Amino acid sequence: GRAADPAPWRAAIALPQRWRAPVFPLKAADFISRGFAQGPVLGHLLTLAEDAWLAADFPLDPPALRAIADQTAARFARDHLL
């Protein structure tokens, strides 16, 4: 039979060297602008937001990021009676 084209295999083998993990795009400023003061609470908010971002499959579009920030801020405020 015909020999298989090795190009797809080469691409698959090179993937780990080429792939870059997405960078979490939200920053402390995204929560400061939502009324949270600078301090340790921002780290907690960013951790919660990053977990939500991972669960949402790494969206990078601004509407999805705003929704994650809004939902995280609202949940944090509710859970901490702010």
The residue whose two tokens read 């979490």 is: 24
Please tell me the pTM assigned to this model: 0.78
Q: Is 80 exceeded by the pLDDT of residue 57?
A: yes
| pLDDT of 6 | 77
CB neighbours of residue 63 within 10 Å: 8
Structure tokens at 36: 């949270």
Higher pLDDT, 20 or 48: 48
Is residue 1 scored above 60 in pLDDT? no
- Cβ distance 70 to 34 under 8 Å? yes
On whether the CB atoms of residues 42 and 7 are closer than 8 A, the answer is: no
Residue 45: what pLDDT? 97
Provide the token pair at 15. Answer: 């993937």
Q: Model confidence over 36-49: pLDDT tens digits?
A: 999 999 999 999 99
Compute the average pLDDT of residues 63-70: 98
Angle between helices 40-55 and 62-79 (to 10 degrees): 130
